[in-house]
Amino acid sequence: MVKHIKKVLVTGGAGFIGSHLVDRLMAEGNDVVVYDNLSLGKKEFIAPHFGNPKFAFVEADLLEVGKLTKAMKGRDVVFHLAANSNIIKSSKNPDIDLEQGTAATYNVLQAMRETGVGKLVFTSSNVVYGEATVSPTAENYGPLLPISFYGASKLACEAVISAYVHNFGIQAWMYRFGNIVGKRPTHGVVLDFYEKLKKDPSVLPVLGDGKQSKPYIEVHDCVDGMLFGLVHAHEPLNLFNLGTTGGVFVRDIADIVIAEMGLKNVEVRFAGGVRGWPGDVHTVRLDVSKLKSLGWKPKYPTSLEAFSAGAKDILADLKMKHS
């Protein structure tokens, strides 16, 4: 669908979503530079592209401005995916999101100014909405009051990007993601449940009350949606929810993982409380009609379909690794 975007820089390109985006960009003949500090990403995710003359990998942090600017020279589009996506980890250390989220995004924008790169695709998150009082929540909802440091950082990044668009002529596409599921996760609920059940297949401890419910999107649909918006939306600043309809309850996730692992008589033990951790939004539903109005159609249109497909892929890979 998206052929020859030309020369691309992908920050966080060795991560979960980033590596799938890189696969797609490389398959369509683009020249790709991956910039990643490997704090969450893994070289093995992008290893198939090593040796390709249209691919380069820079192991560096976005706080290293000189390296970032050098890597960005000659690029046409920046896909900025790098961030600390482990919300539980940063809930105890706000510095992580300030540095790896907000400051890192500022450095990306400054490097774009210096090198003359005019297009930015940014991965935001549904957590910028906080505990929205309107559900499903559309892009024009407000006020935006995130309750996690990760969400606060993403909202700050959106604000800075908006200012750069209006002051320096950069064109941007910002996507507020639902939860992403599919092969190569570096963390997340499926991986967490799998590891707990491998240690003790008789009991599964679960944070919260099990009634937490979030929208999910399969990782290939996520990549497709990002690229679709890039091609079909032409405003100076383009903002979209990227997800599916409905949501999936944590208690149902537990049942799906247990069934896929072939386990029986597992006690699912809920810790209680309405949140899984500080900053966890209990219930999220996204209005995804804006991107669909441009003609985008995900392969898995509902959250349950998306989660089931993605979880099956994750668990199949994990079974192979441990067989």
DSSP for 181-234 reads ESSS-SSSHHHHHHHHHHH-TTEEEESB-S--EE-EEEHHHHHHHHHHHHHH--
∠ CA 36-44-190, nearest 5°, is 90
Beta bridge partners of 174: 122, 239
Active-site residue, from 35, 150, 164, 175 = 150
Reference 286, options 137, 180, 130; nearest CA is 137
| Single-letter code of the amino acid located at 173 | W
d(CA 89, CA 97) in angstroms, rounded, equals: 10
Residues 255 and 304 sit within 8 Å (Cβ to Cβ): no
Is there a catalytic annotation at residue 141? no
Residues 138 and 293 sit within 8 Å (Cβ to Cβ): no
Query: How do the residues of the chain divide into helix, strand and coil, expressed in percent and rounded to 5?
Result: 40, 20, 35
Beta bridge partners of 249: 213
- Backbone φ and ψ of 228, nearest 5°: -60, -45
Total number of residues shown for the chain: 323
Reference 176, options 235, 230, 131, 240; nearest CA is 240
- Residue 9's Cβ-side half-sphere holds a number of Cα atoms within 13 Å equal to 30
Q: Taken in order 275, 278, 280, 283, is the CA torsion positive or negative?
A: positive
Residues designated catalytic: 150
